[in-house]
Chain A
Amino acid sequence: MDRIAFVTVVFLGLIVSLNGSLSAAQAAARKGYRPRLGALLGAATGLPVTVLAALALSALFPGQPILSVIGAFAAGMAALGALRRALPDRAAGQDALPNGEALQRTIAARHLQGSVLRSLFFLSVVLAIAMLAILMWTVIDKTFGLTAVQYTVQPEDLVVNGEPVNRPLDELTGAELQEILADNARVARLRVFVLEHVTRAAEADWPALSGEPVSRVLKGHEYPAELAGVAFNALDEAQVASLLALNLDRDGLQELVFDEIIQPQVVDSWPLWESLTRRDAIAAFVAEEYPKAEVRWRSWVSWEFLTSPLDPRKPDDTGLRPALIGSLLVIAITIAVAFPVGVGAAIYLEEYAGDTRLNQVIQTNISNLAGVPSIIYGILGLAIFVRGLEAITSGQAFGASTANGRTVLSAGFTLALLILPLIIINAQEAIRAVPASLRQASYGLGATQWQTIWHHVLPYALPGILTGTILAISRAIGETAPLILVGGATYLTRDPEGPFSIFTALPLIIYRWTTLPQDEFRNAAAAAIVVLLALLLTLNSVAIILRNRFSRRLS
């Protein structure tokens, strides 16, 4: 019998046993036995009979697992029924309703049933909590741990003027570090170092900058006067190295040598639990498999992680910056659109709208929209914002030069439509909670409807509205499916800049990294999840604090 069927049978057998113990307890009490005895008999019959029946059936009818499973279940239940009937009746001359001893037995059986089921209900709660704990642990397990770090160039292989450098990096002077750079990296790479670490130009701009003179490329930074007019890509190693030395301090040069020349690279990683408990075994493994590697502790979430750009090939170098900026931009647009429209709609529905048919339709419609899956909103955004309104969302109508509508603006609008129903429902509740006496006081003084709303109703309802909005925003931050549909990228060479940029976002990056083949990208994904959850936790805490202040004010 195959494993799946067997596990199913065991599971069903447990259910039969449970049912058996409960019903047999009652039957036992009715027939004059102690309920516990009945419960034991029922439990002891259920599981074994079911399992045995399954084995028998699978031997008789091989290749028919479904038949065996169902048959086993039926057999188990039948056995229970037989047990209940077979129990000899010790209670003589029963009254219609039990009294005395019989009553006490029945009550004992009922209490037994109560305890058993109460444990089951409690188990459900425990399961839910356990799942949350396991989820958190799974993420944390992947965020910290030991890594095997291998150097592309061993520190002892560094050469200066043909001679190996035998001193640790810390002891080298700036001039020596500059030499190392010039001697150990090709000029093209050195130029990249300048562009990346000194001028911080975006990767997309590097090809264009290469042809420019040094004075343009290094505008605002230090460069030797004699190099000012020279084309950037005509420089040699020594010259580029000197540029580096002029603009970075000694520690910066050392960092550069370490990161880019020595280039530590993670070749293997282990989760937290293993790292803590099997340290020696890991060390031994690394010594054998990666003789040149060092075992180092690593936290995959770090400041570098938050501020570096994306690297599609190297998980240990990749960063979250474009995603954070992208999420920020998208959410800004989402709030800017959804908040006023949502609150406005709520005000209309609560203050101005009568009980007309149209308004009931609007109300029902909002409830329906709240339950529409988020991917449908993505499809909507694709058709309307990305394609239909391409002129606007790509910025071409405003002179910007994005190729298509897959921009921050489209994403922002799409998410705004998504959370609009949530904001409306929440804001309606907050407005409804404003006491009628407040409104009446305002009207009594001769204020117009809008004046009443603006000066009295809204300020009173504002904390509640804000709480709801914050919760809607935290929902929007975690949404991935609409962003996929609207064309969010999973690799960007440049940070998103404004509403008409192509973009990526935090949940998109998590999606990408989770599904890439290299295992270390899942470490990066876990680190990104930590960032996302921290962000959501902060937002929700703010919302809860707001809500507590709000309810304190009411009471």
Chain B
Amino acid sequence: MDSTIIRERARTVGMAPQQPLLDLGKQVRPGESVIQGFLFLCGFMTIFTTIAIIIVLGRESLLLVNSKYIDESGAIHSIGVLDFVNTTEWQPHRYKVGIAPLATATLLSSFIAMLVALPFGLGSAIYLSEYASPKVRNTVKPVLEVLAGVPTVVYGFFALQFMTPLLQSAFGANTVEIFNVASAGMVMGIMILPLVASMSEDALSAVPRSLREASYGLGSTRLETTVRVVLPAAVSGIVAAFIIAISRAIGETMIMAIAAGARSNFSLNPFESAWTMTGYIASISGGDLAYDTLDYNSIFAVGLLLFLMTLGLNIMSRAVVARFREVYE
């Protein structure tokens, strides 16, 4: 169009002739960008945490096998990676770092915990999901949540004050030491029970009603429907719950630190005291641990193993859910 006409038009509209009528271009909003950047950093914080864990644990563990330690008599010791597996004693102050006693105690206590948590947790889940009336369910579920919310140090107290005397009266005070793996393991099982129950119950509830109807329609009893139809359909979620429970048991510290004992013990007798991996880390730390001693570095080595075990289990649990997720329709 002729520029004179545009100018005429612009004047009637009351705007300066060079400006476009309406600016729909993208506005620069620095505030938004800053905020978005900040939020991204927040999100990235978690990646930072994971990287930090890996670096810290890895580096100090490497330091452990690369350092030379000098003891009081001036002798020089160094630890090789193989030393972790070919000794059966864990006494860092004597430069023996066989991981076997710690690992055995951890696995033994976790096993005992699973003996308590898995059957009773699954049983509770089945009852709540398939048998209980809504009123019962609404009363029991909070109780389970409370059980799950009790701090672990309180469970440690409970193990020492109730479980150990109970075991001693059942099996004799000569067999059962005051600090023993069984007592700590059983109480740990009680602590994990609600976790198993709630995850299993979610898995059971997720089974569609139509499957249950089909089963009843064929003349099944409630038990048959539960055991032959619902449970198999929910098995991936239940197995995932079990794996998470094991992971939780392996990583549990305070109950072990209080009730399981503090000595290196490569034994399968649950009534003896023994250091678990977590119990050892808790015992050896505390105000006066000097940096770069063998004790200090051993924390990271044990911690690395612990981290890898629990991470591996958690990943496995998610893989189970993803791969074996039952397709219902």
Contacts and interface: CB of A to CB of B under 8 A. Distances in A.
Interface of A: 2-4, 7, 107, 110-111, 113-114, 117-118, 120-125, 127-129, 131-132, 134-135, 138-139, 142, 340-345, 347-349, 352-353, 359, 361-362, 365-369, 371-376, 378-380, 382-384, 387, 406, 417, 420-421, 424, 448-450, 474-475, 477-481, 484-485, 487, 489-490, 507, 510-511, 514-515, 522, 525-526, 529, 532-533, 536, 540
A468 to B, nearest CB: 14
Contact of A4 (B41, B175, B315): B175
A379 B300 contact: yes
A376 B143 contact: no
22 contacts: A110-B221, A110-B223, A129-B143, A135-B155, A138-B161, A348-B39, A367-B314, A368-B311, A371-B248, A372-B53, A372-B307, A378-B281, A450-B31, A477-B151, A480-B153, A481-B254, A487-B285, A514-B160, A515-B258, A522-B161, A533-B150, A533-B154
A345 B314 contact: no
Contacts of A7: 170-171
B43 A379 contact: no
B125 to A, nearest CB: 8
A485 B285 contact: yes
Contact of B143 (A128, A379, A514): A128
A131 B223 contact: no
A383 to B, nearest CB: 4
Contact of A383 (B46, B56, B158): B56
B50 A379 contact: no
Given A121-B131, A510-B157, A529-B157, A481 B282 contact: yes
A4 B161 CA distance: 21
Contact of A124 (B124, B222, B311): B124
B153 A124 contact: no
Given A375-B281, A480-B152, A510-B154, 16 more contacts: A7-B170, A118-B131, A121-B126, A135-B154, A347-B39, A348-B43, A362-B46, A365-B47, A368-B314, A373-B253, A376-B251, A382-B299, A424-B46, A478-B153, A480-B151, A510-B157
Nearest to B120: A124
Contacts of B92: none
Interface in B275-315: 278, 281-282, 285-287, 291, 299-300, 303, 306-307, 310-311, 314-315
Contact of B123 (A120, A138, A353): A120
A362 B158 contact: no
B156 interface: yes
Nearest to B45: A341
B57 interface: yes
Given A121-B123, A121-B127, A478 B152 contact: yes
B60 interface: yes
Given A129-B143, A374-B253, A367 B318 contact: yes
B151 A487 contact: no
B59 to A, nearest CB: 8
B40 interface: yes
Interface stretch (B8-16, B64-72, B190-198): B190-198
Interface string B25-58: 0000101100110111111111101101100110
Given A349-B43, A485-B281, A3 B154 contact: no
A107 B45 CA distance: 60
A406 B285 CA distance: 12
B80 interface: no
A365 B43 CA distance: 11
Nearest to A338: B45
A207 to B, nearest CB: 21
Nearest to B186: A131
B257 interface: yes
Given A128-B197, A450-B32, A484-B282, A341 B42 contact: yes
Contacts of B44: 362
B216 interface: no
B161 to A, nearest CB: 5
B299 A132 contact: no
Given A382-B285, A406-B287, A481-B253, A129 B140 contact: yes
A276 to B, nearest CB: 18
Contacts of A4: 171, 175, 271
Contacts of A417: 49
B167 to A, nearest CB: 10
A372 B299 contact: no
A342 B120 CA distance: 35
A124 B251 contact: no
A122 B127 contact: yes
A371 B244 contact: yes
Nearest to A374: B253
A511 B253 CA distance: 12
Interface string B118-155: 01111110111001100000001001101101111111
A366 B318 CA distance: 13
Contacts of A450: 31-32, 35-36
A134 B158 CA distance: 9
B105 to A, nearest CB: 15
B53 A536 contact: no
Contacts of A368: 50, 311, 314-315
Given A362-B47, A383-B60, A481-B254, A128 B120 contact: yes
Given A7-B170, A110-B224, A372 B310 contact: yes
B50 A369 contact: yes
A128 B223 contact: no
A473 to B, nearest CB: 12
Scoring A375, A478, A515, A536 by chain B CB atoms within 10 A of each residue's CB, the highest score goes to A375
B153 A511 contact: yes
A349 B244 CA distance: 25
B153 A487 contact: no
A113 B223 CA distance: 8
Nearest to A536: B149
A123 B271 CA distance: 27
B219 to A, nearest CB: 8
A286 B154 CA distance: 31
A412 to B, nearest CB: 15
Contacts of B41: 344
B21 to A, nearest CB: 18
Contacts of B286: 484, 487, 490
Contacts of A515: 258
Shortest 7 CB-CB contacts between residues of A and residues of B: A373-B251, A478-B151, A124-B123, A344-B42, A114-B223, A121-B127, A348-B39
Interface string B219-254: 001111001000000000000000010011011111
Contact of A139 (B36, B60, B157): B157
A127 B120 contact: yes
A125 B43 contact: no
B53 A514 contact: no
